[in-house]
Structure 1
Amino acid sequence: MHWMNRESLDLNLLRLFEAVYRLGSVSLAAEALGLSQPAASQGLTRLRLTLGDALFVRAHGRMRPTLRAERLAGVVQPSLTAIQDVLKEEDTFDPSHSKMTLRMHMNDIGEARLLPELMAALHPAAPGIRVHTTPLPHGEIADALETGAIHFALGFLPSISGTERVELLRDRYAVVVRAGHPMASAAKGKTTIQDLRKLEYVAVRSHSETLRILQQLGLDGRLVLTSAHFMALPAIIARTDLAVVMPQAIARRFLDAKRYALLPADLPRSMFTVSMHWSRRFEADPALQWIRRLFVGLFEDKGR
């Protein structure tokens, strides 16, 4: 095909070509597109010059396509339909009919804190949505959001930059021991740093902030157990004199107050925020906008 001045072949010319092809008339095509007949004729002339082909010839009162126009129409018509379908998509989302899989970064404590309320609200409103959570290394989260491998990352993620985010929760770290622990009964007012240095600790490797607190207090040498997951730690605390540093809201919500005690200690930089992160690339996606609003409605301002 002989192409000339290809930069002048714009979408409007292709729409004009499709209308003339479909209607067999320049005047009807002009009317359908809201153009004057001279403007439509000029556009068709421009297209003919650009493509180096007559495209249409008058026969029996209609504009009959040339062979090249037939070939072009086979490409242009489905392409224009696809473009128009995308441009006419409604900026709405019907959760009741969605079959999407929602993919999110969360660690185990994040799942315990966020998933119960999320699923209780999400499943009745959007029963077809499937939820998949996975804990990613922090260095991989930004790329996973950018590529769409995950839709959201939730947690205390101070190392993540270049994303959109909204703060959902605020919490602080606390020291937890069993209810009958000698330190719990002896702590009348505040537990001092000297008191904390008498304890031995368990921790989870993936929760770097708890390890940072222990290290900052000079307590990393007092670690007896460093595990891969949090799930076993409450049972270990209940049966020993070991202590764990964990989010206060999680301790109060999931640990039986009759079996566990929070020591009244001031930990360094103990406040933290749980935020929801996403990529700017997907800012306008109606489904993800709906899910963001759901999260914010469930969690924003709680625990502050």
Structure 2
Amino acid sequence: MHDPQLVAERLLRASAASAGVDARIDWDASFEEGAWFMPPEWVSLYGTPLWQSMDHTSRVELSRQEMAALASGGIWTELCLMQMLGRYMAGRDLIDARTRYALTEVGEETRHSLMFARLISAMRCRAYTPPGYVNHLFSLTNVVYGRIGTFAVTLLSEEVNDLVQREAMKDERVQPLVRQVCRVHVTEEARHVSFARTELTHAMRTASAANVRVQRELVGVTAFVFMAHRMPATVYRAVGLDPAAARQQALANPHYREILRRSGHKAVTFLTEIGLISPRQRHWWRRAGLAP
């Protein structure tokens, strides 16, 4: 197992070397007529009967709304992660490398949230927020996540959205501004994933069996709730589609379901390997669409 202190020190150096990379985003760039806001293959309705009935302009508009929804979800999850990282730091030596990297990560997550908010505004979209009960549920449960839950949820939220951003940033069909934002986020989130994996592995090896059992269930439920609201039905209303019918086709769409499984593969494999997903929790991950 990698030494958590050494990993944190390496990540601190990497963060210092890349500081200010988001300042190079060209926010004044014009959007290209007819260009996508994410690869079309990643749009939830791709390949469905509804998709076939839409013209190119409507399909591009749906990609714009779905990118806004993903960016909005990114802001909300970053806010949740910052709260959990604050709890992690509160019980630690405030100047050791792991605490200093957690502080660095909070700073980066703040910049990412601002970056996503600016992107949503530039795209002239609304922000999509989760239902009120999800906010209430998090406020009730975040105190019991502990180190295992904190870094498992970090890993889940970062890895599940990583693949679509990696695809978008190298796809020349996608708007240049979206590609720039995705490139910055992917680069910095790779460090957050490395930190989360190291901390989570260490936490699992030192946790009590009772705590592991609780965290397995809590993280599984979190994955299910997180994915259930990843793409709100209101994105379909924004492009003139019936929300209920469109959501039904998206959820039944075999292409979209396969994309979600691919997005979750790395996180699910790792969490299974370290013992945070056992056969008893597998059903949560299947219901979330992240595991076969």
TM bucket, shorter chain: under 0.3
TM-score (norm 2): 0.25
Which protein has the bigger helix share?
Answer: 2
**Higher Cα Rg, which structure:** 1
Q: Which has the higher strand share?
A: 1
Provide TM-score, normalisation by structure 1: 0.24
Q: Which structure exhibits the higher relative contact order, with contacts defined as CA atoms closer than 8 Å and separated by 6 or more residues? A: 2
